[in-house]
Amino acid sequence: MRRKASLILLALAVFFAALSPLLRWYAYPRLAKVPAGQYQDMVLEAKDATLLDYATMTAEKVDRITVVQTLKGDVEASRKVERTTDRDVVVWDGLSYVQGPDGEMVSSFPERYVFDAHTQEPVHAAGEAVDGDPVRRGGIEFKWPFRTEKRDYEYFDAQARLTAPIHYEGTQDFRGLEVYYFEQTIPWTEVPLPKTLPVEGITAESVAKTGTTRWYTTVRRFWVEPVTGAPVYGEEIHREELRGGALLGDRDKVTAFAGHVKMREDYIRHTVDLVGSQRLVLLLMTTYLPWGFLVLGAGLLALSLYLEARGRRPGDPVPAEARASEPLSA
């Protein structure tokens, strides 16, 4: 009976010991991915911002600018790209919709971002675009890879349509979560005019004809939870100017937008809760279960060996059946 029990324990010990590395190095890399059908929205605000009134072409102080950012996974489009690339792909349609204090549209900025579901590396496929212009991203956008490292990453700036380093600036505590702080500065750069402008009759083409150009600079800050690679908080110190051309009269430049854009408080709380729960699931696969199974396997192996050793101890009484079958000798 003891031999049988020790064999069962041995089988269980090997089962759990094998499960540990298989879970960490086989299952986790295949299962940790951004779902193709993800949908999420985010609200950011800039208080006491400066905004251009296109009717008078003068910059005005406003109480608040609101940015509504939506990301929506297109599952059919991702399946189509997967057939040609042989990778798990996510296609996100994004919209950054900016509202002035009166609720009127200030700008509407659509994007299509195609990326690898596991590594978050950009995937170049038809349809990759920013505000209707085809682009080729050279770095990540919106989300960092799972198991984010303490290093600089290449980050795509949609306004300037360029990829530049975003620097790792240290580890911090953000509302109970350990996060990596990243910062990117885009110096003053000439950028295309948005396709959608807030005043009827004024288009990007009509502005461009006057010789006026749009310039932009930003300091982008992200606090990224490293297990999930998800930003739990973000800020942008964003400035835009229109420069030169007949549209500005005798002025060299006018501020089109200036503000410190921050995530709204209720969205910060929601994001921290969401990322905290996703972090736990990923840690179960990478740390808690593999180590737990390894310890359990070792314990079961020790128990199995102990039972086996007890079953073989020389001082133990010989079973009655064995005694009965022993031959008699004179």
HEC letters along 223-241: EEECCCCEEEEEEEEEEEE
CB of 308 to other proteins, least distance (A): 8
Question: CB of 173: closest distance to other proteins in angstroms?
Answer: 22
Q: How far is the CB of 99 from other proteins (least distance, A)?
A: 6
User: Given the complex with other proteins, which of 44 and 224 has the nearer CB atom?
Assistant: 44
Binding residues vs other proteins (CB under 8 A): 3, 7-8, 10-16, 18-19, 22-23, 26-27, 30-31, 33, 35-39, 41, 43, 66, 68, 70, 72-76, 78, 93-95, 97, 99, 105, 108, 110, 266-267, 270-271
Please report how close the Cβ of residue 56 comes to other proteins at its closest, in angstroms: 25
For residue 68, CA distances in Å to 10, 40, 108, 142, 324 come to 57, 11, 10, 14, 88
Q: How many residues does the chain have?
A: 330
C-alpha to C-alpha distances, 259 to 144, 195, 219, 315, nearest whole angstrom: 25, 21, 11, 85
CA distance 59 to 320: 103
In order of 61, 193, 302, the CA distances from 116 in angstroms are 42, 30, 44
Task: Give CA–CA dist 249/282, Å, rounded.
Answer: 58
Q: Contact at 8 Å (CB) between 181 and 205?
A: no
Nearer to other proteins, 66 or 119 (CB): 66
Q: How far is the CB of 316 from other proteins (least distance, A)?
A: 20
